[in-house]
Amino acid sequence: MSLSLFAVQSCDSDKKEKSDKKEKNDKEVSTSSVPEPVRSAFSAKYSSAADIKWEDAHENDVQTYKAKFTLNGKKMKAEFDTKGNLVKESEDN
């Protein structure tokens, strides 16, 4: 029983490690290098966002752009595909 518990903890650790690596591999890019459909979609959805920083990212091996920003006093992040479709959004802790 204790062996299986160790295996589960090990798998969880691997998932977190992969997630951390993904975040570290995202590289900050200038706003001008973000495709116009992405910038437009972001502006339409988050018109009052401040302190916006863009990153070149990937979601399931697909090119995406991640915005990290402040909205209503909360740190947020939103990820868009190259056509401007929202892939995911969350609070950035």
Domains parsed from the chain with CATH numbers = 28-91 (3.10.450)
Q: Kindly tell me the burial class for residue 20, based on how many C-beta atoms sit within 10 Å of its own C-beta (0-12, 13-18, 19 or more).
A: exposed
Q: pLDDT-derived band of residue 80, with 50, 70 and 90 as boundaries?
A: very high
Give the model's confidence band at 78: pLDDT under 50 very low, under 70 low, under 90 confident, else very high: very high
Q: How confident is the model at residue 19 (pLDDT cuts 50, 70, 90)?
A: very low
The pair of three-digit structure tokens given for residue 3, joined into one six-digit string: 């062996």
